[in-house]
Structure 1
Amino acid sequence: MSKRAGVVSGLIFDMDGTMINSMPSHAQSWVEFCRRHDIQIDLADLMRRTTGRTGAECMRELFQREMSDDEAWAYIAIKEQLYRDLFGPVFEEIPGFTQFAALALHHGLKLGVGTAGDRHNIAFAMQRLQLPVPPHAMVGGDEGLPGKPQPAIFLEAARRMGIRPEDCIVFEDAPLGIEAARRAGMRAVAICSGHSADELAGPHVIASAKNYLELIDSHFLETLHVATA
């Protein structure tokens, strides 16, 4: 909790595993997709290599060959529909997320979403979360930007919010996303919904928590030096 110096103007949230507890359903959808296409996988290894990457990047990684964007996105459309069908009936947020987001807005912070998920998955999540105020910026993995660990998605979210990267804090649940935040010049908070704090550590990581209820209980937002107009 000692590395929080500096003004904060905005918070940028990864989506899967950070805002919503979707990673188990993503894993299930990969298993089913690969079964249908007769592909043998090591699920843990595939998740490690693909979490945070765009849909097209994931499909090239899975098939281990070059493929056109059209072919890759056609495959990912099938895979992500499987995911939404699986997660829809059991949809849940990472505990405390909507409450934490409301508190952040109360403190005058802008909120952004920076995800490798495509527009359909973003719409699916936002419709179910029913946030009282929509995020100030949402950047997805089907907008032509490289996926994580490249910083482009987070940098674009900051640009759309009109905030300098160094004045943003990223919330992430995956190692590639934590690294993307570092490359973007942003501080990060590790949401340990699927990885340990050690797996998500870094010099720019200022806090770690299993969920947002822990951050609320520790008065995380109140300790930040929030920019004022």
Structure 2
Amino acid sequence: MPATSDYALIFDMDGVLIDNTRYQARAFQLLFRELGLDTNALTLLKRLNGMPATNILKTVFRYPVPEKQLKLYADRREFLYRVLYWDKRQELAGLTRFLEAARAAGFKLGLGTGSAPETIDYIIDHLHLRRFFDVVVGKDDVDHGKPHADTFAVVAKKLGVPPARCVVFEDAILGEQAAYRARMRCIGVGTALRAAQFQAPLTVIKDFTGLTPARVLKLLAEQPEVPQPSKKLAERQYMQL
């Protein structure tokens, strides 16, 4: 059996390291109000969370919007989000203790998110979490965001760990699909979704309280095969991008 040091744990950021989906949704909702749109932001994020903000925004317009304008809208949403979340930034319960235990056990640790570098800094540096991660991969490091495999595949390559020995922690449907497309197994984090809304995770956790490296290894042994990605779950619900 491979040593623990032969395995990697890869974490998404939003909804995994932190429970911030409702603040993200509120920022989108305020932007939509400014733009005269009536889209329900929380419903939208439950479907498309994990994608870059510009791609999410493409789905709410019934006409083409230039990329430059989408970027301005995304920047506006980011500003609103930071104002709303400024005093609320805190890690998900049990996270630091689990990360410390995982590193002590020999796991390699990576962060794979669709966020831009400044947004990553806003969270992980404020919470002093960067020290735990051997690799940090964000939006600017890949050609295609989730549900494509790129984000997690790049993390695994940088860590030097085969996909079959990587476990992804994800809170979003498209993030789980990205893990399976990358040929990795997944643990769901139920900050925004019910357990039944995930496809086939090793387990679904509410937070990191009580999770141990030994438990992760046991779950891997219980599900040796990587699930096939679901075309139905991975398809974008509003339009093809």
Question: Partner of 1:212: helix, strand, or coil?
Answer: coil
Q: TM-score scaled by structure 2?
A: 0.82
Q: Could you say if the C-alpha distance between residues 151 and 65 of structure 1 is closer, same or farther in structure 2, counting changes exceeding 3 Å?
A: farther
Deviation at 1:127, TM superposition (A): 1.6
Alignment of 1:27-42 (within 5 A): 27-42=25-40
1:215 paired with 2:211, answer: yes
Return the alpha-carbon distance in structure 1 between the equivalents of residues 63 and 133 of structure 2: 36
1:118 paired with 2:99, answer: no
Q: TM-score scaled by structure 1?
A: 0.86
Return the alpha-carbon distance in structure 2 between the equivalents of residues 20 and 210 of structure 1: 12
Deviation at 1:201, TM superposition (A): 3.2
Residue in 2 aligned with 1:133? 131
Check conservation: 2:54, 2:71, Cα contact below 8 A: yes
Q: CA RMSD in A?
A: 2.4
Which protein, 1 or 2, shows the higher relative CO under an 8 Å CA cutoff with sep ≥ 6? 1
The AA in structure 2 aligned to 1:126 is I
Deviation at 1:124, TM superposition (A): 0.5
Residue in 2 aligned with 1:161? 159
Alignment of 1:36-185 (within 5 A): 36-131=34-129, 133-185=131-183
Check conservation: 1:190, 1:201, Cα contact below 8 A: no
Aligned residue pairs: how many?
219
In the TM superposition, structure 1's runs of 4+ consecutive aligned residues that sit over 6 Å from their partners are none
Cα offsets for 1:153-173 (capped at 9, x unmatched): 111111111211111100011
Q: Could you say if the C-alpha distance between residues 142 and 75 of structure 1 is closer, same or farther in structure 2, counting changes exceeding 3 Å?
A: farther
Check conservation: 2:169, 2:186, Cα contact below 8 A: yes
Question: Partner of 1:105: helix, strand, or coil?
Answer: helix
In structure 2, stretches of 5+ residues that fail to align are 222-241
Check conservation: 1:117, 1:140, Cα contact below 8 A: yes
Residue in 2 aligned with 1:188? 186
Check conservation: 1:55, 1:118, Cα contact below 8 A: no
The AA in structure 2 aligned to 1:181 is A
Check conservation: 2:100, 2:132, Cα contact below 8 A: no
Question: Partner of 2:158: helix, strand, or coil?
Answer: helix
The AA in structure 1 aligned to 2:202 is I
The AA in structure 2 aligned to 1:167 is R
The AA in structure 2 aligned to 1:208 is V
Check conservation: 1:139, 1:153, Cα contact below 8 A: yes
Deviation at 1:225, TM superposition (A): 7.5
Q: Could you say if the C-alpha distance between residues 214 and 199 of structure 1 is closer, same or farther in structure 2, counting changes exceeding 3 Å?
A: farther
Check conservation: 2:202, 2:220, Cα contact below 8 A: no
Deviation at 1:100, TM superposition (A): 0.9
Deviation at 1:131, TM superposition (A): 2.4
Return the alpha-carbon distance in structure 1 between the equivalents of residues 217 and 176 of structure 2: 23
Return the alpha-carbon distance in structure 2 between the equivalents of residues 181 and 209 of structure 1: 17
Return the alpha-carbon distance in structure 2 between the equivalents of residues 206 and 197 of structure 1: 11
Return the alpha-carbon distance in structure 2 between the equivalents of residues 208 and 185 of structure 1: 19
Residue in 1 aligned with 2:228? none
Check conservation: 1:54, 1:146, Cα contact below 8 A: no
The AA in structure 2 aligned to 1:207 is T
Question: Partner of 1:133: helix, strand, or coil?
Answer: helix
